[in-house]
Amino acid sequence: MQKTKFDVKLREYIDAQMPIIYIDSFDDNKIEEMVLQVTGSRQVWEWNEMDGCINRKKVENGKWTEVHEVIAPERTLYDLLKDGVRHEELNRKILIVKDIHTYLEDAKLVSLLKNACLRIEEGQLDTTFVFLSSIVKVPKELEKYMVLLQEDFLQEDGIREVIREFMEENELGTIYEKLLDEIVVAFKGLSQLEIETILALDFSARGKIDKETIRLIIEQKQQMIRKAGILEMIPVNEGLEDIGGLENLKEWLERKAVILKDMAKAQEFGVELPKGVLIAGVPGCGKSLNAKASAKLFEVPLLKLDMGRLMGKYVGESEANLRQAISLAEAISPCVLWVDELEKAFAGIGGEGGGAEVTTRLFGQFLTWMQEKKSAVFVVATANDIMKLPPELIRKGRFDEIFYVKLPAAEERRKIFEIHIRKRRPGELTEIDISKLVKKTEGYSGADIEGVVKDGIESAYVKGQSGVTTENILDAVEATHSLQEIMKEDIEKLEKEYKERRFKCASRIR
């Protein structure tokens, strides 16, 4: 069994006099308790915005008790570091600082910390800083004095063991196997510490561990997502029926749905778990729509990964963010992880300079995860311009399939018109001459078509008409430049490239 020994690691780093231990935590209280435990009779202070400087430990005759004595409520972290180091107040102490990431933006504070670290290294000061935050920000100046402690996520056997031990310790008897399995799955992607915390929370509130516990686990996970701020949970309203055309892609997704709906059975049969799909092509042709519809089809949550927010300005921050995003997605799995505008995230791979290096490392991390992924996180990556993507990403084995979407053919445009007219003016579907509209919209994208339908309806209303006519929509078509007109050369170049690389066409009609 591979349970993490978080407290052992923590103690080792403190004993090794590592100046800064940065703990990427979601539960500060639990970590604080652990710091108090592993430091035995050493003094522990804490600083937080609310209380200022606090003593956390009373030591008498070699014995310690946990306390919460406010020493200096008005003292800023800056002053505590400055005076504390100068007057040796911080000597032979552990200082816990909560939510450190906000303070590390302050250059003066970072410089004070660096100074303290130098003294610690030279043996003039005996202090350990324990920084707690769920957001990892490490200024370059502090990198060499710091160790980042993150928890590993438990595999199913490990989770089972933690639950079993918890039940034993609290004399809770046993739970039946099927429920235990469900709880284990719900806990997936969480660390030992997080699992123990949730169990303890539930046990102290209700005195038992049962089916209700699963609800609490899910709530906690959602809180983690909100707090981390890198993933967004997107409400899913659109289904396959809202997509006009793209039959090949839809059919492919339906096949994967059969597997994802009963993964255990499929795997037993020897079927591989689907990894995901890359959908490339011109803007406004239904890529995002497909990401949303796949979540609805698979009946799982949709998480959107914001690559822009992933990129941090501190050393290691982007990698830590990606790691966190991946583990959160795994925690929530089965789910669809939608990586939008993939080419933006990984542009500049292999280049030189700090930014490019980070991107290259990030990219490697993402590839490895895609390659080794065993969880039910189905990745839907979307990209407008696949030529900007590094070739490793489009090699076989990363995604199950790569599709390209092109501007809709006549038959597809008909379906798209029908979908958008039905949505807004269902009664006029038979009255509007869709064939005429289809003829006039060669080179228009799905988004263009939606746009002309909306405009047509709006002008009918503004003119005071009782209904919408074909003419209203035709006028809107006249007034709109098609996507093809706007980016003719780009579209042709891309399509040629996709064909050469033998990507699959999302549409059945060529």
CB atoms closer than 10 angstroms to residue 78: 13
334 binding ligand ADP? (CB under 6 A): no
Give SS3 for 118.
helix
Q: Which of 80, 243, 295, 477 binds ligand ADP (CB under 6 A)?
A: 243
Which one-letter amino acid corresponds to residue 285?
Answer: C
Scan for tokens 């008409």, then name that residue.
465
C-beta closer to ligand ADP: residue 320 or 437: 437
- 130 in Cβ contact with 9 (< 8 Å): no
- Among 268, 290, 503, 310, residue whose Cα is nearest residue 400: 503
Residues numbered 178 to 217 that lie near ligand ADP (CB under 6 A) are none
348 binding ligand ADP? (CB under 6 A): no
Of 149-157, 158-166, 442-450, 486-494, the segment contacting ligand ADP by CB under 6 A is 442-450
C-beta closer to ligand ADP: residue 100 or 473: 473
C-beta closer to ligand ADP: residue 46 or 448: 448
- Among 421, 230, 221, residue whose Cα is nearest residue 321: 230
Q: Which of 139, 274, 284, 316 binds ligand ADP (CB under 6 A)?
A: 284
Residues numbered 415 to 434 that lie near ligand ADP (CB under 6 A) are 416, 419
246 binding ligand ADP? (CB under 6 A): yes
283 binding ligand ADP? (CB under 6 A): yes
Size of the site for ligand ADP (CB under 6 A): 17
C-beta closer to ligand ADP: residue 288 or 318: 288
In angstroms, what is the minimal distance from the CB of 48 to ligand ADP? 43
- 301 in Cβ contact with 338 (< 8 Å): no
Distances from the Cα of 435 to the Cαs of 353, 417, 453, in angstroms? 55, 10, 14
Q: Which of 289, 305, 335, 506 binds ligand ADP (CB under 6 A)?
A: 289
Of 49-57, 237-245, 356-364, 484-492, the segment contacting ligand ADP by CB under 6 A is 237-245
Give SS3 for 190.
coil
36 binding ligand ADP? (CB under 6 A): no
- Binding string to ligand ADP for residues 444 to 483, with x set by CB under 6 A, is what? --xx--x---------------------------------
The 3-state secondary structure of 412-457 reads HHHHHHHHHHHHHCHHHCCCCCHHHHHHCCCCCCHHHHHHHHHHHH
Give the bridge partners for 95, in sequence order: 45, 129
Give SS3 for 508.
coil
C-beta closer to ligand ADP: residue 27 or 450: 450
217 token code pair: 């686990």
Scan for tokens 């324990």, then name that residue.
130
Calpha distance 487→489 (Å, rounded): 6
288 binding ligand ADP? (CB under 6 A): yes
316 binding ligand ADP? (CB under 6 A): no
Host H or E run for residue 65 = strand 63-72
175 binding ligand ADP? (CB under 6 A): no
Calpha distance 228→312 (Å, rounded): 13
286 binding ligand ADP? (CB under 6 A): yes
Calpha distance 404→503 (Å, rounded): 7
Give the residue at shortest CB distance from ligand ADP.
446
C-beta closer to ligand ADP: residue 69 or 241: 241
Sites of contact with ligand ADP (CB under 6 A): 243-246, 283-289, 382, 416, 419, 446-447, 450
